[in-house]
Structure 1
Amino acid sequence: MKRKPWPLIIIAVLHIFAPFGNLLLNAIKSGRSISEQWFYWSQVLPKSLVFIYVIVPIVAGILILICRRWSYWLYLVCLGLVFISNVYSFTTNANLMSFVLLVVVVIADLLVVAYFVVPSVQKVYFDPRLRWWEAAPRYHFDIEGQVNGTAAFIKNLGQGGLYLTTGPELSEGDRADIFWNFEGIEVRIPGKVVYKSNRPDFPGYGIKFDPHPEGEKKVSQVIATLHRRGKIVVERLPGPEDSFGVWLKKLFTTGEGLFPRIRKS
């Protein structure tokens, strides 16, 4: 899979549309039309409660899509606010339907929290190297350059980094001073080894560039040329196999796809 995991997208979309479903359920429960229920929410209920009903679920969905460590913790805060609001609604109108709705909400919240406790899901949130869908487009480069003054072969290039298949012995965290000459464009830019691949079919090093205005400008010039020549690495782009339909079929036929599969270097 080369796009954001579908379960995260689905959970986010459900949160974003939750206020509409909440409005409809409350209208049915109260015997009101949707417009009457909205009038009741906006004119009768405390504004803080309306904010939790309408805005907080949408914010929670957006936080899921942001997919960062800080957004994860803020998302849990949003879940807590929604839970408190549902408990409050039940205590002010205790009946069988309110109880059933409260139980459904609690079970749904527990399932979502349990999903985000799964190690592979947390790793995607907490380790930016594993968020593969955020990677800038890569381009076939296949050129010899230098790393720390030693000859090295650059296999592919992106705006934020490159991949070496040969060169000096490096380890994750090592600094790398990179140089190459591409059709008269001399590029020198510092970087850092962010991962070392031990795959027998594709060993090498992934290097992330440091902020360097002059070097980044020249990298952009090189990439513009590679883009015009159609050198983009299409294998890294989402394809038909990453569509929702294919994912859903695979989920029901093989059980795979519910949790992100962490790529091993």
Structure 2
Amino acid sequence: MKSRPWPIVLLAILQFLSPLIYILVAAFFYETSVASTTREMIALAPDLRKFEIFVLPLILGGLLFITRRTGYYFFLLGCIYQISRAVVVFMASNETDPVFPLVITNLIGAIAILYLLRPRTRMIYFNARMRWWETEPRYVVDFPASVSRVGASPVKSRIQNIASGGVGTEVENLNFLSGEKVAVEFQHEGIVYALKARVAWNRPTGNQTFLGLEWSADNSNAERSKVRRLVRHLQSKGVKTTHETPAWWDDFKSWVKREPR
């Protein structure tokens, strides 16, 4: 799995830290130690208030971090709830409860999610096919193989990348159709792999066609296990992937320098 988008990561971290930020601000506001403030809140605050301060931010951060579409909406609703409750608590406490850390963190979160709902960005964050960080790594290889249509003779191909869920392979331009069922056979280090697959997509390149093949669900557990072992073996050898993931610090610097769109 690749690194998640930095806006999502930073918003989730902000939610995870919001209980600590609240305690630090409350300790400064009441001129007491952090430990004393924490003990008093645990002893005196109603259960609902403790849930809102200590538990709900962790849930919202987790919903955001898993980056599922429904999670974004629940996160947005949670932010609105937290802001509303903070205002109610502030008024009920005669303006003595320092709720603004919760208001600020959730206001930032709500504004950010609403920003991601724009047509230009929602395709990336809300379309499952576009979320690159959820795709498994595909290891670059060069395996001779054969691809067979149903009832036809096998044709030679070369597997150029492989993952637990399928392969990318180049074959002669034989007009393969998306969704077409095929059989794939190849060898690596003396082990024979024979699996059924489905053409997920195809891209003609001159006299060749590059096929994206997805393993069929009806492959035997033994064959699927062999592929998973092969993928783990390639990973352990440090084989390059089709999209290399940069170090998190380099990735973060690249995101910061990128012009806003």
Alignment TM class, shorter chain as reference:
0.7 to 0.9
2:153 is aligned with 1:114: no
How big is the shift at 1:210? 3.1
In 1, Cα distance between the equivalents of 2:111 and 2:41? 28
CA distance in 1, matches of 2:111, 2:158: 47
Residue number in structure 1 paired with 2:183: 178
- Aligned 1:200-239 pairs, distance under 5 A: 204-211=210-217, 212=219, 213-223=221-231, 226-227=234-235, 230=237, 232-239=239-246
User: How many pairs were matched up?
Assistant: 250
Cα pair distance change 1:98/1:188, threshold 3 Å? same
The answer to whether structure 1 residue 163 and structure 2 residue 164 are counterparts is no
92 and 28 in structure 1: CA distance in 2 versus 1, 3 angstrom threshold: farther
| Cα distance in 1, alignment partners of residues 88 and 251 from structure 2 | 37
- State how far apart, in whole Å, the 1-side matches of 2:4 and 2:85 are: 31
Match of 1:246 in 2: 253
Q: How does 1:21-170 map to 2 (within 5 A)?
A: 21-95=21-95, 104=104, 107-119=107-119, 121-139=121-139, 140-148=141-149, 149=152, 151=155, 152-166=157-171, 168-170=174-176
Secondary structure, in 3 states, of the residue corresponding to 1:238?
coil
Give a deviation string over 1:160-193, Cα, whole Å, max 9, x none: 1111233543454x14323113155333323334
Question: 1:143 touches 1:155 (CA, 8 Å); kept in 2?
Answer: no
Give the 3-state SS of the residue equivalent to 2:212 in structure 1: strand
Cα pair distance change 1:125/1:188, threshold 3 Å: farther
Write the distance in 1 (CA, Å) between the matches of 2:248 and 2:32. 45
Q: 2:166, 2:94 → 1: CA distance? A: 58
- Structure 2 unpaired stretches of 5+: none
TM-score, reference length from structure 2: 0.77
Deviation at 1:47, TM superposition (A): 0.7
Q: Which amino acid aligns with 1:23?
A: I
Residues 19-55 of structure 1: per-residue CA shift (max 9 Å, x gap): 1001122233334332232223211111111111111
Conservation of the 8 A alpha-carbon contact between 1:155 and 1:162 = yes
Query: Which moves more between the two structures, 105-114 or 137-146?
Result: 105-114
Q: Secondary structure at the match of 1:164?
A: strand
Match of 1:13 in 2: 13
- RMSD (CA atoms): 3.4
> Which range moves more in the overlay, 79-88 or 19-28?
79-88
Pair 248,129 (structure 1): closer, same or farther in 2 beyond 3 Å: closer
Counterparts of 1:182 and 1:165, CA distance in 2: 16
Partners of 2:248 and 2:101 lie apart in 1 by: 37
Q: Residue 223 of structure 2 aligns to a residue in which SS? A: helix
* Identity level (%): 19
CA distance in 2, matches of 1:39, 1:217: 52
What are the residue-to-residue correspondences of 1:187-206 with 2, within 5 Å?
187-196=193-202, 204-206=210-212
Amino acid at match of 1:159: S
For 1:61, what is the secondary structure of its paired residue? Answer: helix
Q: What do the CA deviations read for 1:64-114 (whole angstroms, capped 9, x no partner)?
A: 221122322332343233223212222213449958667645642442232
Normalised by the length of structure 1, the TM-score is: 0.76
What is the SS of the residue equivalent to 2:175? coil
Structure 1 residue runs of 4+, over 6 Å off? none
